[in-house]
Amino acid sequence: MNKLTSIFLMLVNSLAFASDRPSVSQAHLLSLINAPYTTGYTLLDVRSSEEYQSGHIQSAINISHMTLSDELAKLPSNKDANIIVYCRSGRRAGIAEQILRNKGYTNVWHLTGDVVAWQASGLPLETEN
């Protein structure tokens, strides 16, 4: 198989993977965050702790995609719980989503556009003091 064919197949596979990812829009997440007494979801930031501390979405917990398998106890024990995952641009979130599904979580969602789009839309980030 030549190099161009290999690159094309990798692109097709990544697009197929991305299109199968259940997602949550920025507007929907913002409505969940702003609704009084909203429960029933966990917002998971899978970036590094340094990235998280420099700015994260309100109510997010931070577990790096690299340590997620070892830190599942920080997530709801109910495997049917809604978990919304994001990172900077989507790659690490995709890895984390796959880990969660492999561990039996059934309602894993991806934040459309991740932090890059969140910031581009002028939406707020919190920083750690």
Identity at 86, one-letter amino acid code? Y
Three-state SS at 60: coil
Residues with catalytic annotation?
Answer: 87
Contacts of 100 (CB under 8 A, 6+ apart): 68, 75, 83, 85, 108
User: What is the Cα–Cα distance from 121 to 68, expressed in whole angstroms?
Assistant: 28
Q: What are phi and psi of 111, to 5 degrees?
A: -75, 115
Q: Do 88 and 114 touch, CB atoms closer than 8 A?
A: yes
Of 78, 94, 93, 91, nearest to 41 by C-alpha is 78
Amino acid, single-letter form, for residue 43? L
